[in-house]
Amino acid sequence: MFEPIDVKIDGGYDIDLPRLFYVRQKFKTTKVKNISEAIKLEFSREEIKQLIKPGQKIAVAVGSRGIANLKEIIIETILNLKAAGTNPFIIPAMGSHGGATQEGQAQVLARYGITEEQIGVPIVSSMDTVRIATTITDIPVFFDKVAYQADGIVIINRVKPHTSFKGPIESGLMKMLAIGLGNHKGASYIHSLGFEEFNQVIPEVGKLVLEKTKVLFGVAILENAYDETARIELVSASRIIDREPELLQEAKEYMPRIILRNFDVLVIEEIGKEISGAGMDPNIVGRRGVNSAGFDAPNFQKIVVLDLTDKTNGNGLGIGLADVTTRKLVNKINFSYVYANAITSTSLNAAKIPIVMNTEKEAIIVALRTCNRITISQAKIVLIKNTLELDRILVSESALEDIKTRSDIEVLGEAKDIGFDVQGNLLVKPSLLF
């Protein structure tokens, strides 16, 4: 346990803090109204029907990311595969996640409600791989052995901007083929090449996987800024390479963001792996564990992270991107999970521990006191629940001048004083509006 620390700072912790306003940020609202009907319609397309043969044993690959309506999407996919006369089963496709063990990966799925009892088909979790090819740049291509032996493979994943690199193909179907289904061995090797190579390596490896295995199609999922399903599209294996870049561009149009571009301190209530693979999304905050270009984000001085989500199960990866955090957060960290992810990715910065303060109050005040060229009572503060839920946030009074003429952000109600309970926890926070 991380013990309390007596940290004295010049001026102390009892200071006048700026008042905060709740505001609503407005994003695109495209949404799938009926998931069951959407998936059934996709399965009815002749292009997809021709890929499915009665009697096939089909491995349905599922990852470890938090995806809206994932359980329902999996169930409907399974039901449609069964209706076509096939025998589907589920396999984890999550590289080194879940502690890089078959038990851990099955547990990750279970936390999303994906169990044999809930879904109605077997779940076969294994870390065994086969080497199926070598790329022209001499990269060995490893692939899940269970999936390789199946009669067909269906992959289910969200297409979205990646948190560590930029390119025409980022996080989605091709990445699941190249890394997720490579299990710990394949994921470790590709990550050892460095994220700066991913925009070349993932298409190269993914293309070979499509050529050497029995991938039938991918279930591509896009989400809007409100954590809702915006599109579900079945993409045949022959079209994944060309179609995924188009889906990625559409996904970027749905992305949430912090509309305010210049402020002093960003306070994040929670981080977690189900929010972002990086704990907090670098596409939102701009900071990342690797030196990759192409990330556009606001300009600010300090990040404070207050807590971990329950669903992250102690995986505090991403805390290294913060400047200040709390003792309660650090005491929740499962370092086995964090270090397995960080070492596999070869990016250690995201696993480092920032300045640790005893309470939320202390953490926020230390962040403000260590900002340069500001008056604390007039500081520009942005307070968000997490980097996924950004429609309703808090901003300090001095930031209103920067947003009052905008049509994509609306002030909600009167100013609130920043207050803390006897344990030093914030009494005004975005989660109170969710």
**Same domain assignment for residues 297 and 179:** no
Query: How would you class 423 by CB atoms within 10 Å of its CB: exposed for 0-12, middle for 13-18, buried for 19 or more?
Result: exposed
Q: How many domains does the chain have?
A: 2
Show which of 233, 254, 275 is a domain's final residue: 254
* Domain presence at residue 1: no
Write out the residue range of the structural domain in which residue 86 sits.
Answer: 35-254
Question: Domain holding 117: CATH number?
Answer: 3.40.50.11440
* Domain presence at residue 12: no
**Same domain assignment for residues 338 and 418:** yes
Q: Which of 139, 143, 387, 121 is nearest to 277 (CA)?
A: 387
Q: Which residue has the higher pLDDT, 319 or 113?
A: 319
**Same domain assignment for residues 230 and 95:** yes
Q: Which of 365, 337, 362 is nearest to 272 (CA)?
A: 337
Return phi, psi of residue 214, to 5°: -105, 45
| Cα distances (angstroms) measured from residue 62 to each of 26, 90, 102, 108, 178 | 31, 7, 13, 10, 14
* Domain presence at residue 15: no
For residue 191, name the pLDDT band (cuts at 50, 70, 90).
Answer: confident
The pair of structure tokens assigned to 381 is 């503060």
The Cα–Cα gap between 154 and 345 comes to 25
| Cα distances (angstroms) measured from residue 196 to each of 69, 190, 192, 201, 202 | 32, 11, 11, 9, 11
The Cα–Cα gap between 232 and 39 comes to 7
**Same domain assignment for residues 159 and 283:** no
The Cα–Cα gap between 172 and 75 comes to 20
**Same domain assignment for residues 178 and 270:** no
**Same domain assignment for residues 245 and 260:** no
Q: What is the mean pLDDT of residues 341-346?
A: 81
* Segment 261-280, tens digit of pLDDT: 999 999 999 999 888 888 99
**Same domain assignment for residues 286 and 172:** no
| CA angle, 21 then 273 then 71, to 5° | 100
Question: CB-based contacts of 350: which residues, under 8 Å, 6+ apart?
Answer: 278, 279, 288, 289, 317, 318, 319, 320, 321, 342
Give residue 210's identity as a one-letter amino acid code. L
* Segment 217-244, tens digit of pLDDT: 999 999 999 889 999 999 999 999 999 9
**Same domain assignment for residues 199 and 110:** yes
**Same domain assignment for residues 203 and 308:** no
Kind plus residue range of the DSSP H or E element containing 133: strand 129-134
pLDDT of 292 over the 60 cut: no
* Segment 43-88, tens digit of pLDDT: 999 999 999 999 999 999 998 777 899 999 999 999 999 999 999 9
Show which of 227, 254, 281 is a domain's final residue: 254
Q: What is the mean pLDDT of residues 158-172?
A: 90
**Same domain assignment for residues 205 and 286:** no
Instruction: Please give the mean pLDDT across all residues of the chain.
Output: 92
Q: What is the mean pLDDT of residues 137-147?
A: 96
What is the structure's pLDDT at 294? 56
Helix 70-83 and helix 35-43, axial crossing angle in degrees, nearest 10: 40
What is the structure's pLDDT at 45? 98
* Domain presence at residue 5: no
CA 65 to chain centre: 6
What is the structure's pLDDT at 387? 94
**Same domain assignment for residues 136 and 210:** yes
Residue 429 and residue 269 in contact, taking contact as beta carbons nearer than 8 Å: yes
Per cent of the chain over pLDDT 70 is 97
Side-chain-side CA neighbours of residue 288 (13 Å) = 22
**Same domain assignment for residues 241 and 154:** yes
Show which of 186, 219, 254 is a domain's final residue: 254
* Domain presence at residue 9: no
* Domain presence at residue 390: yes
- Which of 42-51, 155-164, 287-296, 410-419 comes out lowest in average pLDDT? 287-296
* DSSP conformation letters of 314-356: T--TTGGG-SEEEHHHHTT--HHHHHHHHHHHT--GGG---EE
